[in-house]
Amino acid sequence: MQKILVTGNGPLHGEVLISGAKNAVLPILCATLLTDEPVTLRNVPNLHDVKTTKKVLEGLGATVSYDPERFGSGPDSEVTVNASTVNSHVAPYELVKTMRASVLVLGPVLARYGQAEVSLPGGCAIGSRPVDLHIKAMQSLGADVTVEHGFIKAKTRGDRLKGAHHTFEIVSVGATENALMAAVLAEGTTVLDNSAMEPEIVDLADCLIAMGANIFGHGTPRIEIHGVERLHAATHDVVADRIECGTFLVATAMSRGSITTVNSRPETMDAVLDKLREAGAEVTVDGDRIHLDMRGKRPKAVDITTAPHPAFPTDMQAQFMALNCIAEGAGVIRENIFENRFMHVSELQRLGADIRVDGHTAFVRGVEQLSGAPVMATDLRASASLILAGLVADGDTLVDRIYHLDRGYENIEAKLSGLGATIRRVD
């Protein structure tokens, strides 16, 4: 099994190219199932989760021209999905259990073919993560849904789903995406209240609009969709990954360095940029570039409370916890989205961090210096936080179970090496 070896090695400096967003490209790939014409995506990141989504789409019968090893990735790379050959309505357990986002084929397959069977995803390292909100949204749109033998089985009553007014009980990114994708082909108008407002949802809606959908209000809590009978071919550039970008910015702040992120989307990152400024970083924005400079200073600890966009994202919580571990002062971190997203705490403590957890709250007191040690990654963002801690720790940190990292960070060790880090993959 591969591991990552990080050696603490002074400030990061330089420029880093930000990839397309994992959490945008996954739903958008699923959305290509809504048309039998080809959809071409650019700025598709080279990630394990994208490969899993390709397998899910291929399992349904679609063809996906994704081969980053041959054609590369990055802003100019193209991936085309042709769903005209879809001949199955089933997303099997073997794939869904490895990637929960596979449940995002439910809405598109149901809307286009009148039936869908998607395995329940099962357990997850960061929380129980049920899919009841996805199911309720499909029911509001007129589907009959049962859960049998570990599968969600959904069927439309007539030929098509029916537009409806649906209010999500709690804000859910995935349920909003599934409902949005289902509603674009429903008969009549759908209003989705208490929708998630994440930039990745806006990007999904933009792609659907390019495919011919009528969507209004995306990026607000009320999305209105006027259903159309069919969608058509389109080309779409995937939005930049604000979490990958934030991870590099935090790494640089921790190392007291200076960087410029390129091909980023600063307007999607207000809460994170504000916290970096509060931590003492000079942050300026110039088009798609973010410049961060610590001027050699130690960061100051910050308080973090995670909540749905536009508040502070849960996907940046672990990285800011790593920052607090070496910061001046103490910070309080409240995790409000997932019930079990502090798995990195005990690993950070192995590096000498001073953290006390009480329920969903972590109290972190900065120490002068962490000390490198072998650690175990437990989920994607936890893995990132351990690498960040290792970058500023004394000596070597060996991060095990880095397959989590490959799910959501494109070539992180090459990008960090380019900024001057001492980091490499070892077998």
Task: Report the catalytic residues.
Answer: 124
Spatial separation of the C-alpha atoms in residues 253 and 325, rounded to whole Å: 12
Spatial separation of the C-alpha atoms in residues 315 and 320, rounded to whole Å: 10
In angstroms, what is the minimal distance from the CB of 93 to ligand EPU?
18
Considering only residues 294-333, where is the footprint of ligand EPU by CB under 6 A? 313-315
Number of Cβ within a 10 Å radius of residue 193: 12
Considering only residues 380-399, where is the footprint of ligand EPU by CB under 6 A? 380-381
Verify cis geometry, omega within 30 degrees of 0, for the bond prior to 310: yes
- Considering beta carbons, is residue 23 or 190 the nearer one to ligand EPU? 23
In angstroms, what is the minimal distance from the CB of 363 to ligand EPU?
22
44 binds ligand EPU (CB under 6 A): no
- Considering beta carbons, is residue 72 or 130 the nearer one to ligand EPU? 130
178 binds ligand EPU (CB under 6 A): no
- Considering beta carbons, is residue 212 or 221 the nearer one to ligand EPU? 221
- Considering beta carbons, is residue 11 or 313 the nearer one to ligand EPU? 313
In angstroms, what is the minimal distance from the CB of 109 to ligand EPU?
17
Mark 121-160 with x for binding to ligand EPU (rule: CB under 6 A) and - for no binding.
------x-xxxxxx--------------------------
In angstroms, what is the minimal distance from the CB of 121 to ligand EPU?
9
- Tell me the one-letter amino acid at 171: V
Mark 193-232 with x for binding to ligand EPU (rule: CB under 6 A) and - for no binding.
---x------------------------------------
Pair 192, 222: CB distance under 8 Å:
yes
Total residues at interface with ligand EPU (CB under 6 A): 25
Question: 46, exposed or middle or buried, with CB in 10 Å at 0-12, 13-18, 19+?
Answer: buried
Considering only residues 69-108, where is the footprint of ligand EPU by CB under 6 A? 101
- Considering beta carbons, is residue 38 or 310 the nearer one to ligand EPU? 310
Phi, psi of 45 (to 5 degrees): -75, 155
Pair 181, 108: CB distance under 8 Å:
yes
- Considering beta carbons, is residue 305 or 371 the nearer one to ligand EPU? 305
Q: Can you give the binding site for ligand EPU, defined by CB under 6 A?
A: 22-23, 26, 101, 127, 129-134, 170, 172-175, 196, 313-315, 337-338, 380-381, 408
